[in-house]
Amino acid sequence: MYHVLCLGFQRGDEMRHKQSTKPLVSGEINADWIAYCGHYCGNCHLYKGEIADMAKELLRKLKDPQFQKTTEGVQRISGRFRSLSDYRRFSEMLCELDSLRCTQICRHSDATSNCRVRQCCEKKGIAGCWECEEIESCEVIADLKPDLKLRRIEMFLEIRKVGVQKYLIQAHQRAVDDSSGHILCFDRKGQ
């Protein structure tokens, strides 16, 4: 049996993630950790909030009046940092990035209720795209770039082949291999 351990993050009401040396959240792993589209929520940038947290921190630093005065002065004197002249637009983009966070995994979130993939799967009564017999001719993923669409279909076929539980374990392992450990981790109970 596998369990979910959140290593390195603390979930708060505002979805802030803080470094920690001890597991903070645990529970039995189930198929809910795979989104309708096949994404593994444990390694999702939106769920972990890493990009949003970085954007918020950058916004905080950029609001420092000394930074603003320095860049304005350097622009006037040397002509450098001209791209910072559109600071308002850049700040708006950072604000958008700050909002890129999910408070729950996809299957439990009201925020994903307008997702076309979720709506399609719920209408068909299937757990995810991998259970759909019409995946090759799917209108929902038809708008994806050809290479992305192909990767999605290959992923759905892989989930069909190995099953959701094994796929989740493999997705987790890929995430561990590709990251610095800042993911929601699976660990064998008792190990």
Higher pLDDT pick, 124 / 80:
124
Average pLDDT over residues 7-34: 43
pLDDT category at 160 given cuts 50, 70, 90 is very high
In this model, does residue 163 exceed pLDDT 90? yes
Average pLDDT over residues 9-32: 40
* DSSP 3-state of 2: strand
Over residues 35-55, the pLDDT tens digits come to 999 999 888 888 888 899 999
Higher pLDDT pick, 165 / 185:
165
Report the distance separating Cα 47 and Cα 136, nearest Å: 28
Higher pLDDT pick, 94 / 85:
94
Higher pLDDT pick, 79 / 16:
79
The reported pLDDT for the residue numbered 104 is 87
Spell out the long-range contacts of 29-34 with Cβ–Cβ below 8 A and sequence spacing 24 or more.
29/2, 29/3, 29/4, 29/165, 29/168, 29/186, 31/127, 31/164, 31/165, 31/168, 32/105, 32/107, 32/108, 33/4, 33/105, 33/168, 34/128, 34/159, 34/164, 34/167, 34/168, 34/171
Return the structure tokens found at 3. 């369990």
The reported pLDDT for the residue numbered 29 is 56
Over residues 88-142, the pLDDT tens digits come to 788 889 999 998 888 888 898 888 888 999 999 999 999 999 999 999 899 999 9
The reported pLDDT for the residue numbered 190 is 32
Report the distance separating Cα 11 and Cα 69, nearest Å: 36
Query: Mean pLDDT in the chain?
Result: 77
The reported pLDDT for the residue numbered 179 is 63
